[in-house]
Amino acid sequence: MRQSLIGNVKTVVAITGASGIIYGIRLLEELEGEKALIITETAKRILEAETSYSVSDVESLADAVYHEDELFAPVASGSYRFQAMVICPCSESTLAKVSQGIADNLVTRAAAVCLKERRKLIIVPRETPLSAIMLRNSLRLTEDGACILPASPGFYPKPQSVKELVDFLVGKILDQLDQPHELFRRWGD
């Protein structure tokens, strides 16, 4: 665990075991302010399979890094102040646990804190197709105040690369966090 030198963590970023890990990495690169990272063991394995980044490369993008089993980490408590949490990418297993109130690791516990404290929780599932169970879990979380932001890039900006597709989605996350950016051309621009 690397503790932050700055007072409070503004955003918790969790990277779970779903394909599309580059979305979480680009988010960490673009996100302003103080960042805490939780990267699961399965995500570390997917990182090796999908990218040329190392775990230490990704961890260096955060101000504080926690292991998924660190249930005594500050972000596990509602009394610890942070503004938002983004689970990107979010595995369907993690989404299901959060929707059912199962807080058995630091990712699901921090998400539960967001919901109970009425903080912004953005969940970026990366799965297709979706079963009725997955849709019901997403609906439950939306009704409970989370933002479900599927990893669905837009094509109206006429992307020319995978990076531009990724940046579109990261820009949509930053929009939800009210962070200005120029990652994609907006509709009508």
Q: What is the CATH number of the domain that holds 139?
A: 3.40.50.1950
Q: How many domains does the chain have?
A: 1
The arithmetic mean of pLDDT across residues 58-80, rounded, is: 96
Residue 97 in any domain: the answer is yes
Residue 56 in any domain: the answer is yes
pLDDT at 2 over 60: no
pLDDT band at 121 (very low <50, low <70, confident <90, very high): very high
Contact in structure between 50 and 86 (CB atoms under 8 Å): no
Residue 186 in any domain: the answer is no
Residue 30 in any domain: the answer is yes
Helices 92-100 and 106-117: crossing angle in degrees, nearest 10, is 50
Residue 169 in any domain: the answer is yes
pLDDT value of position 185 = 86
pLDDT band at 83 (very low <50, low <70, confident <90, very high): very high
Amino acid at 104: D
**Spatial distance between the Cα atoms of 86 and 14, rounded to a whole number of angstroms:** 6
pTM above 0.85, yes or no: yes
The arithmetic mean of pLDDT across residues 99-120, rounded, is: 97
pLDDT band at 75 (very low <50, low <70, confident <90, very high): very high
pLDDT at 5 over 60: no
pLDDT > 90 in the chain, percent: 91
Supply the mean pLDDT for the chain.
93
Residue 185 in any domain: the answer is no
Q: Which residues contact 90 (CB under 8 A, 6 or more apart)?
A: 14, 16, 18, 123, 124, 125, 126
**Spatial distance between the Cα atoms of 34 and 91, rounded to a whole number of angstroms:** 24
Residue 137 in any domain: the answer is yes
Per the structure, the complete domain to which residue 141 belongs is given by 11-176
Amino acid at 52: S
Among residues 93, 92, 51, 70, which one has the least CA distance to residue 3? Answer: 70
Residue 47 in any domain: the answer is yes
